[in-house]
Amino acid sequence: MVPCEFLILGDENAAAELLQQPSARDLQYRSVRSLQEALALVAIDPLRYRGIVLAAPEQAKSEAHLFAESLPLLEAVPDGLVLLDDRGQIQWANRAFRELIRTDSVEGKRFESVLAHSYPERQQTVSRMSVSAGGSGQRVTIATDGSRYLQIMVVPICSACPDERAALVIAKDITAEHVYREKLRAVHRAGSELATLTPDALAEMDVAQRIEFLKSQILRHTKDILHLDAIEIRLLDRTTGRLEPLLCYGMDQSAAERPLYARAEGNGVTGYVAATGRSYLCEDTARDPLYLPGAPGAKSSITVPLVLHDEIIGTLNVEAPEPGRFTPDDVLFLELYARDVARGLRTLELLQAEKLSATSESVDMISREVTLPVDAIIRDVTVLLDRYIGHDTELRERLQRTLAAAREVRSIIQRVGERVAPTDAATLDRVRPSRHPLLMGKSVLIVDADETVREQSHALLERYGCVVETAATAHEALAMARVGEYDVFIADIRLPDMKGFDLFMKLRELRPHTPVILMTEFTYDADHTILRARRHGLPAALYKPFRIDRLIAAIETALTTDTCRPPQHGDQPTG
């Protein structure tokens, strides 16, 4: 704030002439009745006044006499006050100033030299000051010893007599104010750093990586701003009212796993804050009826709501090992930071991602439990259809309906997962693998005696939009190939009932337009199955254990390669 007024003791026209202004209209004045009143006003609000003008020729009292009458008033002012003569020497200083500079011997000394002697570590800053009665008003902040901050303000006192000039210096301890401003700046910087990722970088991160990124940022800010190592963030599930842990650091394991709900009673401070939307300062955990044990040895805590668009989405809690560690200002800082955390959650799409992740985990768990049993039903019904040679049309239709129903069960599970996922395509793409346009909707038959391979095939390929069915033996695979339609066959070369090359050739005969991919363990191919199959149009081979990118690449190759080469003489299936 720039000082905008002069305090005038005396005639305003004389004051305008004294200040050598072109017109009294260019100045802002406030008339005072005495020097005591002027000094009191300056001491109370030094940032408002540019100076004091003594323009009262009819007054017989000298300036020094007027000031002497004001001493009792100025001694009571809590800020340091100093009267300087026209050479910048101290004529008088109050008790508060002497305490600030830690010395009593100040009269007759230059102000700059007294300040430099008291704070030698700030000698250069002090030496650049130009404090004198004839100088213009100025304001300088000095960091004294790294923990205290002084603000020096100079208010000129002009007189009708050119030889009678003075200046009033106000020295304020602004340490608390400075620390408050610095914390506000730190909170602002911290908040702006919470979601600094570019869209491309964000798109490449999965849910776990985004949570780790947010966690690292918040932990760093918590240590820098509040110097704490215990923090907990919970997100509110609006359907159940449960507060699910998102970030727990420095908390007791049992506290981190404790189920909490957004209820004002019975769920600790966190539940109370989530239910009411009001921040809570716990000054002494041993005496607070709402507090539930969190960080080991915690004696005080702050819990604030996470609010986004006037909606409570969770809570942020920090704890300290000392009672009374936090102040109302700390609550304010944490509230401001919590707003940025909420915005960061939205920017990083963790709110949608967490819901999608939880839903996907549930759907995936159900899918894992029913996948192989459904596959078994499909295989058994298919084998029955393939072997049935009777003429009972109704029985055949029942088997076909059973087969269709089994496939529909699997399809329903997938559709449920799609319905509960976010409708925002960009969000869905970022938290799930991209649906591959070439693989989308393609039907794949996996043939492997290993149950784990069959289960993992579902998990891997269905994420990319494939429809997966599995067989455990070559004869099951051939029956399924005769009854059903598939876009790709993927078969292990080591099956219990048939050699891999023989299955490859039989599948080629049954479905000449459907590509067959063979799988084998690394270095194991005693019958040279892969080599022989390549001569008959094998588009791709997989070597276990294979990576998902290689599996996808093999299917892409198979779908885009012409495999309709006739079998060559001398290399026919053996049985």
Q: Which fold has domain 5-173?
A: Beta-Lactamase (3.30.450)
What residue ranges do the domains of the chain occupy?
Answer: 5-173, 183-348, 353-424, 433-575
Angle at which helix 207-226 crosses helix 175-193, to 10 degrees, equals: 170
d(CA 274, CA 278) in angstroms, rounded, equals: 8
Across-strand partners of 520?
543
Token pair, residue 373, equals 């049993």
Angle at which helix 328-347 crosses helix 175-193, to 10 degrees, equals: 10
- The SS3 call for residue 365 is helix
Across-strand partners of 90?
84
pTM of the model: 0.43
Token pair, residue 200, equals 């491309």
Q: What is the dihedral of CA 384, 390, 392, 396, to 10 degrees?
A: 20
Could you read off the pLDDT tens digit of each residue along the chain, which spans 575 residues? 445 577 777 665 655 555 555 544 555 777 777 766 777 777 667 667 766 776 655 543 455 555 555 566 667 677 888 878 777 788 888 888 888 877 777 888 887 777 776 666 555 554 455 554 444 456 677 766 656 777 787 777 765 555 556 777 888 877 777 666 666 666 666 666 665 655 566 666 676 676 677 777 777 777 776 677 788 999 998 889 999 988 888 899 899 889 999 999 999 999 999 999 999 999 999 999 999 999 999 999 999 999 988 889 999 999 999 999 888 888 888 888 888 888 777 766 555 544 445 555 555 566 667 777 888 888 888 888 888 777 778 888 888 888 888 888 877 766 665 555 544 444 444 444 445 678 888 999 999 998 888 888 887 888 788 889 999 999 999 999 999 899 999 999 989 999 889 999 999 999 999 999 999 876 556 678 888 898 888 998 888 777 788 888 899 999 887 655 554 445 555 54
Q: Could you report the per-residue pLDDT of 387-443, keeping only the tens digit for each?
A: 877 777 888 888 888 888 888 887 776 666 555 554 444 444 444 444 567 888 899
- DSSP string for residues in 479-509: HHHHHS--SEEEEESB-SSSBHHHHHHHHHH
pLDDT at 40: 72
Q: Are 10 and 29 in contact (CB under 8 A)?
A: no
| Domains 5-173 and 433-575 equal at CATH topology level | no
pLDDT at 482: 92
pLDDT at 107: 83
Q: Are 111 and 95 in contact (CB under 8 A)?
A: no
Token look-up 């596959």 returns: 375
Q: Is the peptide bond before 328 cis (omega within 30 degrees of 0)?
A: no
- Do strands 488-492 and 516-521 pair parallel, antiparallel, or not at all (unpaired)? parallel
Structure letter (DSSP) for residue 546: P
The widest CA-to-CA distance across the chain, in whole angstroms, is 134
- DSSP string for residues in 124-180: HHHHT----TTSPPEEEEEE-SSS-EEEEEEEEEEESSTT--EEEEEEEE-HHHHHH
pLDDT at 149: 77
Instruction: Give the residue among 117, 110, 119 at the shortest CA–CA distance from 167.
Output: 110
Q: Which fold has domain 183-348?
A: Beta-Lactamase (3.30.450)
Instruction: Give the residue among 338, 280, 333 at the shortest CA–CA distance from 314.
Output: 338
Q: Quote the radius of gyration of the chain (alpha carbons, Å).
A: 41
pLDDT at 514: 93
CA angle 437, 442, 448 (to 5 degrees): 130
Q: Which fold has domain 433-575?
A: Rossmann fold (3.40.50)
